[in-house]
Structure 1
């Protein structure tokens, strides 16, 4: 079956990796529930319902015309309208968007919310661009994308390179073109114009909530544990915040220039000022806090000994060598805050060593879950408090954890969060697809 996926999607390494990971988890179903592993179902699940690729022309501040490529892969709508973020980064290509969309289908299914899966983006790099350039790009991007989305069709959100600024420009252009204030067409909006409390914090918070549930199942907690978080983007920053709130201590964070180690615990206020206000590099952290921290420009952040590791940067950032180092240094838990940040070989090493391992489709689901809560508030013209929204997020992450545990136990793999997450999500999507016929 996987050979057919390889043949139909040549050269798409990230997408192939994501499909292979799910297919590997289906073995227990093949033994007792062969109907779920029929090729007719698998073939449709692995094939996007729609793939859109388009040109995005825009003019930079010097008057030069630039051209980027835009993508939107609407992968599966069996459970609801397509839902998934937009990524603006030079690495974006069709393989990455398809891998993200495929993962999103199962991630969204685990939330229990009525949303399907999709993903999109562009190879545009917002770093170093002025606000005016970013606005012109977003307006051009939306001028094509608008015809493919809608609150009952496809609801994009943010991802790497797409934050509140970009969502604002995209929403403004959508409103301008359609002459409709359709709040539910995009999530991640500003609080004053249809956004949800906790959406900014949701993915990072959700990852830590999931890790806390994993530890609670083993009779312990994050309190007093040393934690390493890769990345200093939105997910990482709020993972750091929630770890500290729950009594853990984050001792290292990173960006593309290297990583900093602060054994006293990373000062979140300093880090946020550097990354969110000045848009600076993590190396500047040492300049702010002095000798208590050190910056390392080479090597891997996973060389820093810790009890909990939260990869929150990008795909395949934690490889086989990193996994061996983490195990040797006594790591107890790894929870993926990014999409597929751990290579298959690394994940196998961690799981074989008895390390608690949470795949991104479960641990990373807090962001899209809160996006669905934003859609719910938009539909009812309502606005929830921070406390109410955070509690609902925590409840959803607890439910995802329990679903993974129950499903893994049901197929004879207790404690395997990868098998539990993949099977629970796959069964839910497959059941809906069968019920709706061959479409």
Structure 2
């Protein structure tokens, strides 16, 4: 349970002096880790760790730059580009690039801050960073997108490298954009190196990379099910509500279907689709094809034959959490703050037992509180609602990016089976680390409660980063 009694000073603690209040997304991410750490016994058992908070919350470097290009109408456009190089104690800066009109410094700082700890939980040598461009790519031609990528990389190339900072894709930056960005870097620097991940398989990419985040969140959830039921249950027969319709949601849905679960929903920014009998692999394939063309789910349902025989219900302006009927598992895979407190209550009422974020900070603080109270007050283990945050459950993507970096360094390519095996092992190791930290530092008063993965994920990742910072003199 999130115990805020006598802890109201968490949000006004002296360590908060490093947080800028006009940055709500970053403030929320910072508050989350502070709450998890302060509501545990970590600082009581090891007081030295408290001094890490004000240091780790400040980026090592923030790079802001102008990006200009000529659009297809021959008019010059300009946008703000960013790279937040947050922490390199655990390895080269690592984190995605987001091309979207919502990009601003608060969102990139929140994502970069989360990335530090997420990357630490992979067990690989990676620091944390995030970057992007405030631009809308919808309606632009391939040639214009190429010009945008080359203009963006013209400045970014000064600040990255395979041993310095290795960006990847994120919202708005898929395989096409990574290709253009890599080509630009190679041209500007006269160097072919593993400076970006998510590359094409024909030029340095890794198998399983597109699937990794979606597969990874399902593998983590399977570990939750195994632990909670002592191996008696699996995805078979489970009703799974998934939000989003992009890369993460698509591959999470495919893996759930493969493991015998029923996917009852997908969504985008304009609405959601609900299926009582289960969304099919053919429907997921249709969505994947159409989303590259920036089509909405409403358009896809009307245009693609996969939805003719296996009909779904489209609900405009809605998210799936309170309208999907009975839900056993919820996988938020869209964007930040996509599950509200009221929606969390709706999920609990709908019978949800496992909630794992495929998105970054997918649940609001109010939603997390609902799930944690349901877990900590359960009258039996079977009644627990087990929630885990994205820094633990959605690290599969960056984990396989780390494996791509390893393959690039060795100039080899691993088989699909080897990469998938390493991904499964990584997610299971992460789960075990998180449970261990929760048991050691987040002591429960209710003997029926499962360990708090919310606290455990924050604690385990913080310790890994903090120890590296102490060893290297970043904190003294």
In structure 2, the residue corresponding to 1:283 is in which secondary structure?
helix
2:431 and 2:470 mapped to 1: Cα distance? Answer: 26
In structure 2, the residue corresponding to 1:118 is in which secondary structure?
strand
Cα 1:279–1:270, aligned 2, differ >3 Å: closer, same or farther?
Answer: farther
1:127 is displaced (CA, Å) by 1.9
Partner of 2:7: none
Partner of 1:116: 127
Query: Does the 8 Å CA contact 1:405/1:415 hold for their aligned counterparts?
Result: yes
Asked if 1:188 is matched to 2:198, the reply is yes
Partner of 1:199: 209
1:248 and 1:280 mapped to 2: Cα distance? Answer: 27
* 1:27-42 alignment runs, 5 A limit: 27=38, 28-38=41-51, 41-42=52-53
Partner of 1:216: 226
Query: Does the 8 Å CA contact 2:69/2:151 hold for their aligned counterparts?
Result: yes
In structure 2, the residue corresponding to 1:156 is in which secondary structure?
strand
Query: Does the 8 Å CA contact 1:271/1:285 hold for their aligned counterparts?
Result: no
1:222 is displaced (CA, Å) by 1.0
Partner of 2:447: none
1:299 is displaced (CA, Å) by 3.0
RMSD (CA atoms): 1.4
2:68 and 2:160 mapped to 1: Cα distance? Answer: 20
2:347 and 2:196 mapped to 1: Cα distance? Answer: 39
Query: Does the 8 Å CA contact 1:209/1:397 hold for their aligned counterparts?
Result: yes
Query: Does the 8 Å CA contact 2:243/2:319 hold for their aligned counterparts?
Result: no
Partner of 1:81: 92
1:10 is displaced (CA, Å) by 2.5
2:21 and 2:225 mapped to 1: Cα distance? Answer: 40
1:2 is displaced (CA, Å) by 4.8
Asked if 1:378 is matched to 2:408, the reply is yes
* 1:195-234 alpha-carbon deviations (Å, 9 max, x no partner): 0000000000000000010001012211110011100000
Partner of 1:94: 105
Asked if 1:280 is matched to 2:280, the reply is no
2:170 and 2:18 mapped to 1: Cα distance? Answer: 29
Greater Cα offset, 420-429 or 287-296: 287-296
Paired residues, what number? 436
Asked if 1:409 is matched to 2:452, the reply is no
Partner of 2:3: none
* 1:129-278 alignment runs, 5 A limit: 129-182=140-193, 184-219=194-229, 220-277=233-290, 278=293
1:279 is displaced (CA, Å) by 3.7
In structure 2, the residue corresponding to 1:61 is in which secondary structure?
coil
Asked if 1:364 is matched to 2:388, the reply is no
1:7 is displaced (CA, Å) by 6.3
Residue of 418, 422, 435 corresponding to 2:454: 418
Query: Does the 8 Å CA contact 1:320/1:345 hold for their aligned counterparts?
Result: yes
Greater Cα offset, 283-292 or 338-347: 283-292
* 1:301-341 alpha-carbon deviations (Å, 9 max, x no partner): 11112111100000001111111111111111110000001
Residue of 429, 441, 447 corresponding to 1:399: 429
- TM-score norm. by structure 1 comes to 0.97
* 1:109-138 alpha-carbon deviations (Å, 9 max, x no partner): 000000000000011112221111111000
Query: Does the 8 Å CA contact 2:270/2:318 hold for their aligned counterparts?
Result: no
Asked if 1:316 is matched to 2:356, the reply is no
2:221 and 2:148 mapped to 1: Cα distance? Answer: 38
Cα 1:8–1:358, aligned 2, differ >3 Å: closer, same or farther?
Answer: closer
